[in-house]
Structure 1
Amino acid sequence: MTMSQMLSPLPMRQTSTSRVDAEKIVEIKRLLDTRRQGFSLSAPFYTDPDLFQLDMEAIFGQQWIFAASIAEMPEPGDYVTVDYGPYSLIVLHNDDGGVNVLHNVCRHRGARVLTKNSGTTGNLVCGYHSWTYAPDGDLIHASAPGEIEFDKKCFALKKAHGRTVAGLIFVCLADEAPQDFDQTAAVFEPYVAPHELAKTKVAYQQDIIEEGNWKLVMENNRECYHCDGHPELACSLFPTWGLTDETVPAHLEDVWGRNQSAQASLEQRCQRYGLPYEVVEELDTRVAGIRISREALDGDGESFSTDGHRLSKKLLGDLRDFRLGRCSMHLQPNSWFHFLSDHVITFSAFPINDHQTLVRTTWLVADDAVEGVDYDVEKLTHTWKQTNLQDKQFVELCQQGVRSPMYEQGPYMKSEYQVEAFINWYTLRMREYMA
């Protein structure tokens, strides 16, 4: 599979103006213009349905969104459906090795064409009146007794952009997708490619609905200031993430020293195997914001377990050492990833409405790994299952708080600089959309 397999979609019809009332747009612009640098957003950004609608237009309607991995749809004809806000998409593995991305809206009466989260299909048949579409979305059957023939070419499923990079699948709803994703893809592909996601399979997938705005979900993910609340994760992930020599607190000095030593050893191994490990951090300095690096884990340094020991006996791809820590990647606006020697975990946040977000976590192992022999699903998923539930509680506490009349913007700590970068990125994209 090439680094970038991109469709040439038919233009997607979009409204030229926002669905949000003009007076509300003026108020939102004022809130953006008066936002205090280094502080959280004002309450409406987390609670206002109109602002959520604008998020769907300006962010999820314009940017590249992580949808799935190729391991979730490994063969031609395999598909997943992805829902966020008012949108539902079919992402289908095509015969050319790329993906077709189609709006999951029948052109007859608007019914959902595919209703399952995933599956395998030939033609796409709407269950309502049996309108039938080819895998590329063209309408091929819509007959009924006595009906006058009409031009089926005018009633194909609407298309969106789709591309695959190193086994990760991205979609974009905009008429013209942001072009700097090419540069971002060129940054992360060398880090991700050695794990060979096309040779992995899904070991487990977890969907959690968090009672919180999607931005609170992302803010929570972008910092480790709260990591004392993740006891399972702290067994292998150093809780000093985001700290520096100047900001590490006294009670973490020993951990910091152990982290520095482990990182030095990891970098030596990466140099030996020709693996990139340097930090690349452009979270708010490009449209397709990214942070990626390879970082040491505690204990044995192999995986997310109580002692840092491997959770699968099978190495991924062409990796030759289990002690390669984690390759951690953040992509704006909705995803984060951990690529380890023995497994991969992908995370995606899909907004449902202004106060609910679906968080999807997928664990991938080598495609020849045998469950019960090479890995145990419960052990493989335990750390991040617990961490996700803990994060769910943290996000929901924040959502409850931002609804209070007494809420006001609070300052981000130095270790939360990536939260500030996410909010900077978000406000820039919103201003661009409303310009």
Structure 2
Amino acid sequence: MTASVSAPRTTPGKLTATLTDTRLAEIKTLFENRREGYSLEGPFYTDPDLFKVDMEAIFGKHWLFAASVAEIPEPGDYVTLDYGPYSLIVLRNDDGGVNVLHNVCRHRGARVLTEAQGTTGNLVCGYHSWTYSPEGSLIHASSPGEGKFDKNCFALKKAHSRVYAGLIFVCIAEEPPTDFDEVAKIFEPYLAPHDLGKTKVAYQQNIIEEGNWKLVMENNRECYHCDGHPELACSLFPTWGLTDGIIPPHLEEVWERNKTAQADLEARCRRYGLPYEVLEELDTRIAGFRISRESLDGDGESFSADGHRLSKKLLGDLRDFRLGRCSMHLQPNSWFHFQSDHVITFGAFPINEHQTLVRTTWLVADDAVEGDDYDLEKLTYTWKQTNLQDKNFVELCQVGAANPAYEQGPYMKSEYQVEAFINWYTQRALEHLA
């Protein structure tokens, strides 16, 4: 299902309107002088003016992962999405589509919906009771003695939306990048067999990491640090990102086991007609992406201590539990793990230049019964621990980036996806600043 809406929109350029031409030129120079193959300079992680540029150039212009359809299964269900100065309402409408509205009342700017999620009919602002339809139209704004005014001029502002393979994406730009639809045609065949439309939320975790959003994404894009994830290393091969010729001695046996497991997985995928090839254009197109199906260690079924399934219910049309993980990375703010028994979605939402909300959602088959088909603590254990460990790593880097002794350091070969992310980010920012 694909949905797109158009209406009065925001002007993201307002965020940097207060910056002087000299300041904008300084920021542009930082991007132009970016040293390839090295980490970014400290201000990219600490400067509030640079954060404004990020909100305009990246989060104000590009497609962002917002939620899954399992989070708003019924008409009237909604989630609110907050990042930087923005707040959006992502709402399931009566025909099964998705509306995305700016969560700002057109009267005096109060936030319309204040809860993170819920169910609503009409949208009523709690300040002066201005009332909007689920499509954003103003339907009630009366006051004693007030003359008539054109309600059509005061609808809630809308954002663009897309729903692909059960994942909801939003874009607040007036003209969003068009190549995202092309990328969706690439990743949909990988994800569709898991059928997110027939899943439910088992658990959702929100963590505020004391770090810039780019550090969150950089940390996710490499496994050089995976020795720091003992729970995850039980099922995720810590050789992810490595190739023949750069395997450290202590991982040689793991690498050989990984290659054998991957060959078995690919044979299984061919049997079931499932795509598994690595496809990636992380910094060579506007909608940067990477997707593949990769083996897991142990039983090869799920993220558990022995790789065994964590739910007894297969997802969608899948016929085998031993299908590893379908892993997808999308620029700029999301990553996903699709297993045969459950799916985990991750979204990173900047709060300010030094804080990021990381939202993790575990999805299981909609007929799976907690306690019978899955144990919630076991289902979430590996990634709860991994998220806390990643939080610590990100926060160590944030403190370091603010230290006067900080200097840019080189990326290792296994960190090529970090380099690709920074390349993508730099390109998009320079396009905007031009």
Which of 5, 9, 26 is matched with 1:8 structurally? 5
Distance 1:103 1:37 in 2: 37
Distance 1:51 1:15 in 2: 14
Asked if structure 1 preserves the Cα contact closer than 8 Å seen for 2:165 and 2:191, the reply is yes
Distance 2:228 2:126 in 1: 46
Alignment of 1:18-417 (within 5 A): 18-19=16-17, 20-417=19-416
Asked if structure 1 preserves the Cα contact closer than 8 Å seen for 2:315 and 2:341, the reply is yes
Structure 1: 4+ residue segments shifted above 3 A: 15-18
Distance 1:21 1:376 in 2: 56
Deviation readout 1:76-133 (Å, 9 max, x if unpaired): 1111000000000000011222211100000111111001111111100011111000
Distance 2:111 2:148 in 1: 24
SS in 2 for 1:96: coil
Deviation readout 1:50-98 (Å, 9 max, x if unpaired): 0001100000000000000000001111110000000000000112222
Asked if structure 1 preserves the Cα contact closer than 8 Å seen for 2:239 and 2:251, the reply is yes
- Identity across aligned pairs (percent)? 78
What is the deviation of 1:343?
A: 0.1
User: Closer, same or farther in 2 for the Cα pair 1:237/1:34, shift >3 Å?
Assistant: same
| AA of the residue aligned to 1:287 | I
User: Closer, same or farther in 2 for the Cα pair 1:323/1:97, shift >3 Å?
Assistant: same
Q: Which runs of 5+ in 2 are unaligned?
A: none
Q: Which runs of 5+ in 1 are unaligned?
A: none
What is the deviation of 1:306?
A: 0.2
What is the deviation of 1:11?
A: 3.8
Distance 1:220 1:24 in 2: 29
TM-score, reference length from structure 1: 0.98
| AA of the residue aligned to 1:156 | A
Distance 2:400 2:280 in 1: 31
| AA of the residue aligned to 2:52 | Q
| AA of the residue aligned to 2:165 | A
Deviation readout 1:332-383 (Å, 9 max, x if unpaired): 0000000000000000000000000000000000000000000011000000
Distance 1:22 1:346 in 2: 40
| AA of the residue aligned to 1:115 | T
Distance 2:27 2:355 in 1: 21
| AA of the residue aligned to 2:331 | Q
Distance 1:223 1:265 in 2: 24
Asked if structure 2 preserves the Cα contact closer than 8 Å seen for 1:98 and 1:163, the reply is no
Asked if structure 2 preserves the Cα contact closer than 8 Å seen for 1:343 and 1:364, the reply is yes
Deviation readout 1:375-420 (Å, 9 max, x if unpaired): 0110000000000000000000000000000101100000000000
Distance 1:408 1:96 in 2: 54
What is the deviation of 1:145?
A: 1.1
Distance 2:255 2:117 in 1: 43
SS in 2 for 1:228: helix
| AA of the residue aligned to 1:60 | F
Distance 1:22 1:333 in 2: 27
What is the deviation of 1:16?
A: 5.3
SS in 2 for 1:159: coil
Distance 1:424 1:394 in 2: 22
Report the counterpart of residue 427 of structure 1 in structure 2: 426
Distance 1:30 1:54 in 2: 13
What is the deviation of 1:8?
A: 2.7
What is the deviation of 1:15?
A: 5.8
Considering only aligned residues, what root-mean-square deviation do their CA atoms show, in Å? 0.8
Asked if structure 2 preserves the Cα contact closer than 8 Å seen for 1:6 and 1:163, the reply is yes
SS in 1 for 2:159: strand
SS in 2 for 1:327: strand
What is the deviation of 1:13?
A: 3.8
TM-score, reference length from structure 2: 0.99
Distance 2:56 2:12 in 1: 10
Distance 2:427 2:10 in 1: 25
SS in 1 for 2:207: strand
Distance 2:347 2:5 in 1: 25
Asked if structure 1 preserves the Cα contact closer than 8 Å seen for 2:201 and 2:361, the reply is yes
